[in-house]
Structure 1
Amino acid sequence: MLLEMKRLKWLWLLIVLIAAFLLVVPDYPPTLRMLALNLSYELVHPMAPAPRKLQLPLGGEDEISFGWVGHSTWIIEFQGFRFITDPIFSNRAFIPRRLVAPSIHPHEITTLDGILLTHAHYDHLDVDSLRALPFRTPLLLPSGDLPAVKELPQPKVPLQGSQSYRIGDIVIKVFPTRHQGKSNPDKTTNETLVYLLQKNNRTIVFFSDSAYAPAVVDEIRQNCPGGVDAAFIPIAAYKPELFHQDHGTPEEMLQMALVLEAKKIFPMHYETFILSLEPVDEPLKRLMRAAEAKGVSDRIVPVPIGGVYHLSTR
């Protein structure tokens, strides 16, 4: 408890110093502007509770169900198998504080078949959150990020390029995408992975963070010629242009999902942390306008934090 209080004291001191710097230097980099937005928000707004609470199991053994924990953390139940993606339950992603609390606590997740990590940024690879999850669960991650998780108890499955891995009768394929994923120069690499999960002719694509990457979509498309049942796409962190180099706009990410012929499209990576300079509520509004313009609004599934969606079995 004392150690935690000391950590919070130093963190707040760092935030105050950053704020003081921003007051005297008007022309500061975008990352510092983002931190200033976080500070100003945090001083006025307490962290909101999740609109809904997840309870496991999400659905039946033969169903495909998705539950949003928040940010890029989803619980995916795929016909008898349960996965979690980029789990972060901590109140902070290094410095930015959550806007909304997670919709489930890690101690409530007692069984998992796989933990899917896409890259090493603090809002995606959170060591404290991973340590709280079942310790026998395989931890799938970019091979270059192994040093960052070497102290964790879970068995490690390093992946790169276009490798495949099997858990039961689910085939998991990964594809590197356009996103600089390094968080610590000594412990991680820049590789960021897209996950493709396939079973019984059903297909799920999980993008996490990605810039607009038509070549990656083409490669994934070759592995699922019949299209995909569900595509998870990040839709925020695209302003300013410096950030856009690593994060697609809502319109660009929608286009990638449409090229994949995704039957259902699940937006994420918004309304949980302030990680860029666009207004918090802008990404989803832009996505819905773009979908309406293309006549595909019925494919977009904006699940609330704590919400559950059951994919049709037909």
Structure 2
Amino acid sequence: MRKRYTNLDDVDTSKSVRDMIRWQKERNENKKDLRIVIEQAPNKEIEKLVANRSATSITWIGHSTFLIQINGFNILTDPVWAKRMGFQNRLTEPGIELDELPEIDVVFISHGHYDHLDFGTIRRLKGKPTYFVPVGLRRKFQIRGIKHVIEAEWFDSFVFEGMKFSFVPAQHWTKRTLTDTNTSHWGGWILESDEHSIYFVGDTGYFRGFSEIAKKFTIDTVLMPIGAYEPEWFMKESHLTPEDAVKGFLNVAGKIFIPMHYGAYHLADDTGPEALEKLNAEWTRLQLDEHRLKKLLIGETLWL
């Protein structure tokens, strides 16, 4: 019998057929205008990124995909360049084309959902990256001939050529076929160098795990999801509202907040601009330092 993974406190994210029907009825009654999209950065620094071997940078490709350069490594998170997700076309083009990327050294996968794990993209990556994946996913890579794959349980850590990579909990679920629900795990990744730490949160609802993570790690930059939260009665266990994303950021005591997981695919009933509007309103309501919130345009690079 295949192992099925669970959330902290056994929080259940499953939904019934009745829930799905209710959601689809609400969606049909509340059509959203998808013509207003997140902007592309006007000045992309592709040549500088390709040549970079020393500076620390974070470039938002779109959705949950970032190019991170740290300690001389080129790192990708959840690389997805897919033009469609299910029946929906991608709303925004990736910030950098696949063939413009430098050779990739490391790839981090948060979980197996198609908007976070796209083997069509992975087959086209330059270089020979090492893949760090949640426990239960290695076989899906190996059957495709990908050998450099390291599986992780929650709070496993790996020392990798002068850096430390740690897999930490999230509150979510996963599925790629009719029979493999939760047969692999889900979570976030924390990257630590001597100078900087980056927490790639992955996909999650709000949970006590943020406070647990804060007890174990000192975090500088947080890549935090803010989208796919509507309708909240359906999504709240699995996805953060922008308000809860800020709460989670404060729980982990991060220094810089970079929002992600919005604007590329129409996965739920909220839109990218709506998510940003709510994020801005909550940041202002709490009177947080505006310099700690870095809302990247697609393809924009933050140099740290």
**TM-score if structure 2 supplies the norm length?**
0.83
- 5+ residue gaps in structure 1? 1-26
Residue 122 of structure 2 corresponds to residue 168 of structure 1: no
How far did residue 78 of structure 1 move?
Answer: 1.0
Paired residues of 1:182 and 1:191 also in contact (CA < 8 A): no
How far did residue 192 of structure 1 move?
Answer: 1.2
Label 1:106 to 1:34 Cα distance change in 2 as closer, same or farther (>3 A): farther
Paired residues of 1:178 and 1:246 also in contact (CA < 8 A): yes
For residue 188 of structure 2, give the secondary structure of its aligned residue in structure 1: strand
How far did residue 201 of structure 1 move?
Answer: 4.6
Residue equivalent to 2:183:
189
Label 1:60 to 1:134 Cα distance change in 2 as closer, same or farther (>3 A): closer
CA distance in 1, matches of 2:222, 2:248: 9
Paired residues of 1:48 and 1:101 also in contact (CA < 8 A): no
CA distance in 2, matches of 1:308, 1:87: 17
Label 1:32 to 1:104 Cα distance change in 2 as closer, same or farther (>3 A): farther
The code of the aligned residue for 2:53 comes to E
CA distance in 2, matches of 1:236, 1:179: 14
Paired residues of 1:56 and 1:109 also in contact (CA < 8 A): no
CA distance in 2, matches of 1:248, 1:48: 19
Residue 77 of structure 2 corresponds to residue 85 of structure 1: yes
- 5+ residue gaps in structure 2? 1-19
Q: Give the superposed CA RMSD.
A: 2.7
Paired residues of 2:80 and 2:117 also in contact (CA < 8 A): yes
How far did residue 146 of structure 1 move?
Answer: 2.4
Paired residues of 2:38 and 2:298 also in contact (CA < 8 A): no
Counting aligned pairs with the same residue, the percent is 24
Cα shift readout 1:47-89 (whole Å, capped 9, x = no counterpart)? 9994444515438433221101100000001131110000011
- Give the counterpart of 1:238 among 216, 229, 235: 229
The code of the aligned residue for 1:275 comes to L
Label 1:99 to 1:36 Cα distance change in 2 as closer, same or farther (>3 A): farther
Moved over 6 A (4+): 35-38, 46-49
Label 1:41 to 1:113 Cα distance change in 2 as closer, same or farther (>3 A): same
How far did residue 255 of structure 1 move?
Answer: 1.1
Residue equivalent to 2:60:
68
Structure number having the greater helix percentage: 1
For residue 21 of structure 2, give the secondary structure of its aligned residue in structure 1: coil
**TM-score if structure 1 supplies the norm length?**
0.80
CA distance in 2, matches of 1:33, 1:105: 36
Label 1:124 to 1:284 Cα distance change in 2 as closer, same or farther (>3 A): same
Structure with higher RCO (Cα < 8 A, 6+ apart):
2
CA distance in 1, matches of 2:198, 2:303: 13
Residue equivalent to 1:212:
206
Residue 146 of structure 2 corresponds to residue 118 of structure 1: no
Write the mapping of 1:274-293 to structure 2, written as runs, cut at 5 A.
274-293=266-285
Label 1:76 to 1:184 Cα distance change in 2 as closer, same or farther (>3 A): same
Residue equivalent to 2:216:
223
Residue equivalent to 1:295:
287
Paired residues of 2:112 and 2:174 also in contact (CA < 8 A): yes
- Give the counterpart of 2:152 among 159, 163, 169: 159
CA distance in 1, matches of 2:64, 2:74: 16
For residue 195 of structure 1, give the secondary structure of its aligned residue in structure 2: strand
Label 1:37 to 1:159 Cα distance change in 2 as closer, same or farther (>3 A): farther
Cα shift readout 1:258-300 (whole Å, capped 9, x = no counterpart)? 1222111000111111111123311111111111111213211
Cα shift readout 1:152-192 (whole Å, capped 9, x = no counterpart)? 43511111121112221110000121011222244563521
How far did residue 32 of structure 1 move?
Answer: 7.7
Paired residues of 1:140 and 1:156 also in contact (CA < 8 A): yes
* Greater displacement, 104-113 / 29-38: 29-38
How far did residue 218 of structure 1 move?
Answer: 2.2
CA distance in 2, matches of 1:184, 1:54: 38
